[in-house]
Amino acid sequence: MLEDTSFAILPDREGKRRKRNVIDIGNMLAFSCKDEVFFFRCDAGVVNVQFYDHPIVRVAFNPFGETSMKTSRAVVMQPKKVKVDVHETEEQVELASPQMKVVVKKRPFRVQIYDQAGRLLVGEEARGMAFTYEGDVYCYKGMDQADHFYGLGEKTGFLNKRGEKWTMWNTDVYAPHNPETDPLYQSHPYFMTLRNGWAHGLFFDNTYRTIFDFQTFEDEYCFAAEGGPIDYYVFAGPTPRDVLKQYTNLTGKMPIPPKWALGYHQSRYSYETEQEVRELVQTFIEKDIPLDAVYLDIHYMDGYRVFTFDRNRFPNPKQLIADLKQEGVRVVPIVDPGVKVDPEYAIYQEGVRDDYFCKYMEGNLFIGEVWPGKSAFPDFTNEQARSWWGDKHRFYADLGIEGIWNDMNEPSVFNETKTMDIAVMHDNDGNPKTHRELHNLYGLMMGEATYTGMKKLLNGKRPFLLTRAGFSGIQRYAAVWTGDNRSFWEHLQMSLPMCMNLGLSGVAFCGADVGGFAHDTNGELLARWTQVGAFTPYFRNHCAIGFRRQEPWSFAEKYERIIKQYIQMRYEWLPHLYTLFAEAHETGAPVMRPLLFEYPDDPHTYNLYDEFLLGDNVLVAPIMTPNTAYRAVYLPRGKWIDYWTDTVWEGGQYHLVHAELDKLPIFVKQGSAIALANARRSTDMPDEQRIVRLYKKCDGKTAYMIYDDDGQTFAYEKGIYFRLHLDIRYDENIVRIDTKTEGEYRPDWKLSFAIHGGTAQTTVIVDGNEQHGRWDDKQNILWIDHN
């Protein structure tokens, strides 16, 4: 590709790149209001301001025509009625709601947005909104010295994105990812700013190629696009949790996944035959290693035609899928958007006949080369095409398949641009747009078509969808993995900030290919990566054809033992994880959290990228370098308990922690609780126990909640779920636990408590009744059975 050669830095004839003339929006000329939208007529056009909700303000400006209040497909929230007080002077217009205030300077037109406490969130001074006659739009905002930036979806590099420039343009990148690899497969034109302990957010709702520049200027940042309007939302926060809730209120929240989607998944490009798949699963069973899903990459298809099986390789897929499901293992096939050009292939015939494929203005189909060879691509911006594509998944549902893997959906095409011709026209449900404008939406709309189709076909069961490409809002339909990483220690390190920033961008269900997709892994790297994967929201081992195999038993026995141990730990920790997924569904809070999410007033957390929280009380600090048994761990305020030894560590400081290859450093905040279970071979196996581990402190109180439901259907949306609320009070030698249940679902598991930090004389009172426990001298734990 030319961008990978010296051609990329070829100068023009003058020896420099042509600079476009950037035009400022100018002065405000008039001001009016209609239907709760405020209109500011300026020299260069009309700016619309709307309070979308009490903590959300929208600003829109189209210098090339009417400023519309239509939204992209990312936005699902309808604006609410917000009482706004208006005050106009000679110099400015002030719009004030109970939680936000917008101050518009008239000459020149500049926007400043404050929260209810009077803190400036985003402001414009020397520069504001601007454009070029070539169609580019720019928005400049002041940047404080204390600003730290997070989010932006799937980006390489460190957690804090300050000092860098980032592009949103969904791109298939097989070359090794490194800190300068940008863009990647996902586009999330959204970020969170953390300043002096207070957080706010900004979402730039523009589907063109967009740029976020936190690098060029010392005192301002810029977001820009190659076309379309300036249309952005500001979220007032003031905490990171509040910002995520506001952003996901706007773009949607994830459904609770089926429980099997949270188990361990095994994949390879490719398991090429039915016999190989059967032998794979049988080996997991014989070695007693838990497993919930096996993936089928492109070799399962007949000539890479989607909605087919190669009957030579897979002579009886329905029986295979049924047999594996008997063992608690699902099959997840890959489904790419490219449809092979073949006049005898029914999917191609239907797509052409019913006008479902992408085409040029002149009416001829866009044909691109992908795995099947010459291929046509469904136009997922067309409702009829989405419905058709979704219904085609009956082929998989009828075989007993409950999960789908969408790949190559940037869309990826084997040409110099790596994608579809930007001159292609999309129907866009009757409002035609070019691919240049809608490229970044392709994966999102394929996700909607696939998820909606599977949901209709599964008779009330929750589908699972995994996607490589997406846009803001993709969390409504799919889990996300970080694409074609490599078996390098650096890629293991990179996976943490990538997943944490995806979580801060609303995508709570995310993960990286454990072990690395390309290159040759080794036993130590796979063991350390599996330790991380066991505590990552999405947990899949995946590797590419032609490279060293990396199933759990692929290396020496000492590595296999460790890998098995941590896969089993994943199943032990599922109750805690499942509760966090329910929280993500309700509030948008990520499952895997950077420390700044819970400790935004602690500057030590602002740049921490190599450790993370599971919820608000479990800290995981993996070792991610070879031949290493020590690392520095920062523990925030409070006291923290070593999960393995019950050693108490003081917070608010760094510690040098020892962890040999079989140990993943895990710390639980003193005074809190975690719910664990016994390891199972699959989530389909009986779930018989909940062990609530309480990490006692001398005095104080805390609360903990366990969420559960049937793990398979959408009955939870109708109140058929179970929440167990625990109010816990610690005295010197007494633990009082008061319980309250909520919801109509009644689980089968039995409940017990394990008191860490107590003694044999510790008294435990549950719901007013003293409980008789048993003291474990070896572990120094008091066990209480409670039905």
Q: Could you identify the residue written with the tokens 């006049």?
A: 343
Residue 157's closest CA among 182, 136, 128?
182
* CA distance linking residue 279 with residue 551, whole number of Å: 12
Write out the DSSP string of 288-337.
Answer: T----EEEE-GGGSBTTBTT---TTT-S-HHHHHHHHHHTT-EEEEEE-S
Provide the 10 A C-beta neighbour count for residue 225.
24
Active-site residue (options: 205, 402, 484, 611)? 484
Q: Could you identify the residue written with the tokens 């599977």?
A: 454
Residue 123's closest CA among 50, 59, 51, 187?
59
Known catalytic membership, residue 484: yes
* CA distance linking residue 364 with residue 769, whole number of Å: 77
For residue 594, what are the contacts with CB-CB under 8 A and spacing of at least 6? 150, 159, 497, 500, 503, 504, 605, 608, 609, 612, 613
Token couple for 436: 């240049």
Residue 91's closest CA among 76, 75, 74, 108?
108
Active-site residue (options: 297, 407, 687, 709)? 407
* CA distance linking residue 674 with residue 704, whole number of Å: 8
Residue 419 amino acid letter: T
Known catalytic membership, residue 410: yes
CA pseudo-torsion sign 456, 457, 458, 460: positive
Instruction: Indicate the angle between helix axes 442-457 and 383-392, nearest 10 degrees.
Output: 50
CA pseudo-torsion sign 644, 650, 652, 653: negative
Token couple for 514: 């454990």
* CA distance linking residue 775 with residue 108, whole number of Å: 74
For residue 272, what are the contacts with CB-CB under 8 A and spacing of at least 6? 299, 300, 313
Task: Find out whether 267 and 540 touch, Cβ atoms under 8 Å.
Answer: yes
Active-site residue (options: 154, 226, 292, 410)? 410
The H or E element spanning position 739 is strand 734-742
Known catalytic membership, residue 407: yes
Distances (CA, A) of 358 to 338, 383, 434, 670: 11, 13, 10, 57
Write out the DSSP string of 84-148.
Answer: -EEEE-SSEEEEE-SSEEEEEETTTTEEEEEETT--EEEE-SS--EEE-TTS-EEEEEE--TTEE
For residue 129, list its beta bridge partners. Answer: 139
Token couple for 10: 């070829």
* CA distance linking residue 239 with residue 201, whole number of Å: 10
Provide the 10 A C-beta neighbour count for residue 374.
12
Token couple for 82: 């917000």
Residue 735 amino acid letter: V
Residue 591's closest CA among 533, 537, 514, 532?
537
Residue 609 amino acid letter: Y
Distances (CA, A) of 617 to 263, 364, 411, 499, 503: 22, 57, 40, 19, 17
Task: Find out whether 295 and 540 touch, Cβ atoms under 8 Å.
Answer: yes
**Omega before residue 258 within 30° of 0, cis:** no
Burial pattern 51-77, b for ≥16 Cβ within 10 A else e, equals: bbbbbbbbbbbbbeeebeeebbbbbeb
Residue 1 amino acid letter: M
Longest CA–CA span in the chain (Å) reads 87
Residue 770 amino acid letter: E
* CA distance linking residue 39 with residue 30, whole number of Å: 8
* CA distance linking residue 45 with residue 172, whole number of Å: 37
Residue 232 amino acid letter: Y
Catalytic residue positions? 407, 410, 484
